[in-house]
Structures are given as C-alpha cells and as structure tokens.
Chain A
C-alpha cells in the first residue's frame, strides 16, 4: 500500500479542475492570417473556466462543457479599390470667347487603403477527454491532465457575429472617406461578402485551435523535497521528506469513480 493516498470524487475533481484552470491563467498569442481576400493581424488571449468532470476508469477524465473564454483584437486592411474601381474625370476643354481654349485637368479618384480594427470577446464550450500525465521535472512532481486529440470548436455563431461586427466597423471607418457616402452600403456589402462567414471561421479556427491542442491542466504540483513542517526557530528547522514516487489513476471504488494519487515518501 502506498504511504499516502489522496482521492477526490467527481465533484471534488471538478473543484480541482477549476483550481487548475485558475493556475493556468490567461494564454496569449498573436500573428497574422488571411481573412477572405484581406490580410488580418491579430492578438488573442484565452482563459479556461467551468466544466464538469466525468471520471471514466481506467484512465479517462472527461471535461464536459469547458468554457474557453477568448478575446480577439484584430485589424485588417483592404484597398477600397478592390470593391469600387478607381475612376478618372476626363480632361474637358471648351472654347471661351475672348479667352480661348480652356481645359479642366484630368481628375482621378484612387480609393485609399483603410484599416479596420475589430475587437471581439466570447466563449466557446467544448467537451474533451483528458489523460493523466505524471512528470518529475526540475525537482517538482507534476500530475497533469492532457487533452486527447483536438476538440471540435463550435465557432460558427461567433463567426457570424464577428462578420456583422466587421461590417459595422467598416462602415464607421469608411464614413471618413470622401465621396464614398452614397456608395457606403455597397462597399460594406462588398467587404462582408468578400470575407463571408467561411472566411471568419477560417481565421478563428487556426487562432483558437492551438489553445486547446495539447491543453494541459496541472492537478498536483509539489517539490520532491517536500516540506512537512515549516521552520519555527533556530533549533527547529524545517522538516522535509522526499517524495520518491507519485502515481495517479482513475479508479472505480464502490459506487464512485475517483481520481486517486498514491505517493511514497522517505525521510
């Protein structure tokens, strides 16, 4: 029998999981990608919360309805000329009595490139199967749960919302462009049509999927040189033991499924 056994049931494991989510904290990433025909640069931050543990012996920890909360800040730029062709007012000449021939200059409208910032925060629920992962590294025992495979992220609703947001943001930016007022609806429609939901989904997928691919939550982390009793004076130094071995399993005991840690120590 192991010298120390610690166990939690599914309710306790759910609490442990929530602690692990807090310890993992907020993850961030940035980069650039294509958004339909346009280029987009993005910054993304993600943190996890919620979820309910379903322990499945012998080695699966299923986390149901895990919230992946994300915030996206991305900017994409496009050339209005991609939507509305540039045009020129031709040179016009007239003969004016007593003055002679008068010509207007050729006037060309070259539509500018505009940059549209979009911020969006939301969460996506997913369910994933995790397996136990035990490592001794850097003098610490770490028992974690690691996601198996890549959970499917349902981001279509978010994509639709972001597309609408892009349209609204584009309208706000385009209002500042001279002469375009009458064409605004046309340009916005052109932009959103060029991006389309598939375009946003294609952007969100590569941004958000890496946060769940290889996702690992630490449920136990202690130094191998474990402090049993803290120091309490010059002649009462800290008392330590060595954690020689740490094992973890999902066990079916009686009527319950439990996450069980077994630890052997030496003085």
Chain B
C-alpha cells in the first residue's frame, strides 16, 4: 500500500520522534511538569509553576505541596514496551501509552497547636504566611515516587484551513504495586487528573509532525498505528 493511500500527502511521526519532541518541549518548558506551593516553588519561571498552598484551618500557610512529573515517554500502537506496561492496560490501535514518574511531596508537621502563650493567635485568624524554610522547625518533607503508566489517545485542535495541532488525552492511569486497592484508585484518580492537566498545554503543530516538509491540509488522522502517528491530506 502506498504511504499517501487515497490522499496526496502523508506525514508519519514515529514514537521516537514524538519522544524527541516531548524532550525538547519539556527541557525548555519544564514548568508544565513541576508544580508546587511557595515552600517548594518560590516563583513561577520556565522551570516550575508556583501554585497556592491548600488552605486548611490551623495549618499555617496551608498545606505545602509539590507534584513533579518526569518527561514522559510515549509509545504509539503497537506496544513497544517489551512487557513493561502493566497488564491492566491494553494498548489498542489509535491509542498510545505513556510512561512517566510522578513525585508528590508534602510538608508535614506544620499544624498550629493552640497555646495561651502563643502571641500570634490573638485574632484566631489563620496565619496566611507560608512557612519559612529556616523556620521549618520539626516539620519535614515527605515524598512519594510513583511509576506511572497511562493509556491515551491523540487530540486534534484545528485552527482552520486544515491546520492545527496534536495533543494527547489520558484515558486511564495505572500505578504499580499500590495497596490497598482504594488507595491505589484514589492515587490513580489524582495522578490522572494532574497528568491530563499538565499535558493540556502540549500541542505540536501539524507542520512540526512533518518537519515542515511539503504542505498538508489535513483530511484524515491523526491515526496511530505501526508505532507512528499518521496524518493524510492534500497540498
């Protein structure tokens, strides 16, 4: 069968290519993979995104947290993981798998204990000041690292005239070796939400999929098969 099939132009991006694109993307825009409250991320920059702490009564400055994903590795159908992908996930045609590592960090031990001698609590208002790293005291950081596998599918965003961009949507996440099951489900829910949100801003223009070769007004695709994302169109 011809590459162009019933159309006149074809572009195929191999999974090695998409991974090079993702590496290039996240190297200079790491902030899409690193989020944290002020304790972990003092200010937003290209490397990390500052978020609000999670407000909670009697936790000074709120709950300090951070989430960081490693640069994900994408595997287009067919499965090329060599058996690495958890058996709970199935990679079908027009789907992709995604493998990454997720690190969730929390500052623990920052609970205010009411004390008549505490001169900061006269008005009973929560202290909005974030914890100072030097005044960290007995509090400490807990980190958990998760090996994350996900199944997703391509998402196209059209900008008119057959142009647009390619992104990804996450359909399911699998964490390995988490017990009990409710905890695993809870974490999978959390990480799927975070990962999907992190990937929303990853959009590769159709033009990049073919490295600028020829012109292509999209008629078909992207279709995922043979370890490639394929698009078909006319010039």
Which residues of chain A have a CB within 8 Å of any CB of chain B?
1-9, 11-12, 15-16, 19, 219-220, 222, 226, 228-229, 234-241, 243, 253-256, 258, 260-261, 263, 265-267
Are B210 and A6 closer than 8 Å at their CB atoms?
yes
State A9–B233 Cα separation when bound (angstroms).
Answer: 11
Which residues of chain B from 183 to 235 have a CB within 8 Å of any chain A CB? 203-205, 208-215, 227-228, 234-235
Rounded to whole Å, the gap between the CB of B5 and the closest CB of chain A is 8
Are A267 and B20 closer than 8 Å at their CB atoms?
yes
State A241–B212 Cα separation when bound (angstroms).
Answer: 12
Are B214 and A8 closer than 8 Å at their CB atoms?
yes
Rounded to whole Å, the gap between the CB of B201 and the closest CB of chain A is 8
Are A2 and B14 closer than 8 Å at their CB atoms?
yes
Are B8 and A243 closer than 8 Å at their CB atoms?
no
Are B17 and A3 closer than 8 Å at their CB atoms?
yes
Please indicate the chain B residues that have their CB under 8 angstroms from the CB of A15 in the complex: 8, 215, 235
Q: Which 8 A-B pairs have the closest CB atoms?
A: A3-B17, A12-B8, A6-B213, A256-B2, A267-B24, A15-B235, A267-B23, A254-B2
Instruction: Give which listed residue, A3, A253, A256, contacts B16 with CB less than 8 A.
Output: A3
Are B4 and A256 closer than 8 Å at their CB atoms?
yes
Which residues of chain B from 135 to 164 have a CB within 8 Å of any chain A CB? none
Rounded to whole Å, the gap between the CB of A78 and the closest CB of chain B is 51
Please indicate the chain A residues that have their CB under 8 angstroms from the CB of B17 in the complex: 3-4, 265
**Which chain A residue has the least Cβ–Cβ distance from B201?**
A236
Rounded to whole Å, the gap between the CB of A11 and the closest CB of chain B is 5
State A241–B19 Cα separation when bound (angstroms).
Answer: 11
Please indicate the chain B residues that have their CB under 8 angstroms from the CB of A237 in the complex: 28-29, 46
State A6–B27 Cα separation when bound (angstroms).
Answer: 26
Are B214 and A5 closer than 8 Å at their CB atoms?
no
Are A4 and B13 closer than 8 Å at their CB atoms?
yes
Instruction: Give which listed residue, A9, A220, A241, contacts B4 with CB less than 8 A.
Output: A9
Rounded to whole Å, the gap between the CB of A260 and the closest CB of chain B is 7
Are A253 and B24 closer than 8 Å at their CB atoms?
no
State A2–B14 Cα separation when bound (angstroms).
Answer: 7
**Which chain A residue has the least Cβ–Cβ distance from B31?**
A235
State A9–B1 Cα separation when bound (angstroms).
Answer: 12
Are B20 and A265 closer than 8 Å at their CB atoms?
yes
Are B227 and A1 closer than 8 Å at their CB atoms?
yes
Chain A binding surface, main DSSP class: strand
Which residues of chain B have a CB within 8 Å of any CB of chain A?
1-4, 8-14, 16-17, 20-21, 23-25, 27-29, 31, 44-46, 203-205, 208-215, 227-228, 234-235
Are B211 and A226 closer than 8 Å at their CB atoms?
yes
State A219–B214 Cα separation when bound (angstroms).
Answer: 7
A3-B17, A228-B204, A258-B3 are known contacts. Are A239 and B213 too (CB-CB below 8 A)?
Answer: no
Beyond A6-B11, A235-B31, A267-B27, list 18 extra A-B contacts (CB 8 Å): A1-B14, A1-B228, A3-B16, A4-B13, A5-B3, A8-B4, A8-B235, A9-B8, A11-B8, A12-B8, A220-B213, A228-B205, A235-B46, A237-B28, A239-B29, A263-B211, A267-B21, A267-B23
Please indicate the chain A residues that have their CB under 8 angstroms from the CB of B29 in the complex: 235-237, 239
A226-B211, A235-B45, A261-B213 are known contacts. Are A241 and B21 too (CB-CB below 8 A)?
Answer: yes
Please indicate the chain B residues that have their CB under 8 angstroms from the CB of A9 in the complex: 2, 4, 8-9
Please indicate the chain B residues that have their CB under 8 angstroms from the CB of A254 in the complex: 1-2
Rounded to whole Å, the gap between the CB of B208 and the closest CB of chain A is 4
Rounded to whole Å, the gap between the CB of A4 and the closest CB of chain B is 5
Are B2 and A258 closer than 8 Å at their CB atoms?
yes
Are B14 and A3 closer than 8 Å at their CB atoms?
yes
**Which chain B residue has the least Cβ–Cβ distance from A230?**
B205
Rounded to whole Å, the gap between the CB of B180 and the closest CB of chain A is 40
Please indicate the chain A residues that have their CB under 8 angstroms from the CB of B210 in the complex: 4, 6
Rounded to whole Å, the gap between the CB of A238 and the closest CB of chain B is 8
State A2–B95 Cα separation when bound (angstroms).
Answer: 20
State A127–B85 Cα separation when bound (angstroms).
Answer: 55
Instruction: Give which listed residue, A5, A16, A226, contacts B212 with CB less than 8 A.
Output: A226
**Which chain B residue has the least Cβ–Cβ distance from A18?**
B235
A12-B8, A267-B20 are known contacts. Are A7 and B235 too (CB-CB below 8 A)?
Answer: no
A11-B8, A229-B203 are known contacts. Are A220 and B208 too (CB-CB below 8 A)?
Answer: no
State A12–B215 Cα separation when bound (angstroms).
Answer: 9
A8-B235, A260-B3 are known contacts. Are A228 and B208 too (CB-CB below 8 A)?
Answer: yes
Instruction: Give which listed residue, B45, B204, B209, B214, contacts A12 with CB less than 8 A.
Output: B214
Could you write out 12 A-B pairs with CB less than 8 Å apart?
Answer: A1-B227, A8-B8, A8-B9, A12-B9, A222-B213, A226-B212, A235-B31, A256-B4, A260-B3, A261-B213, A261-B214, A266-B20
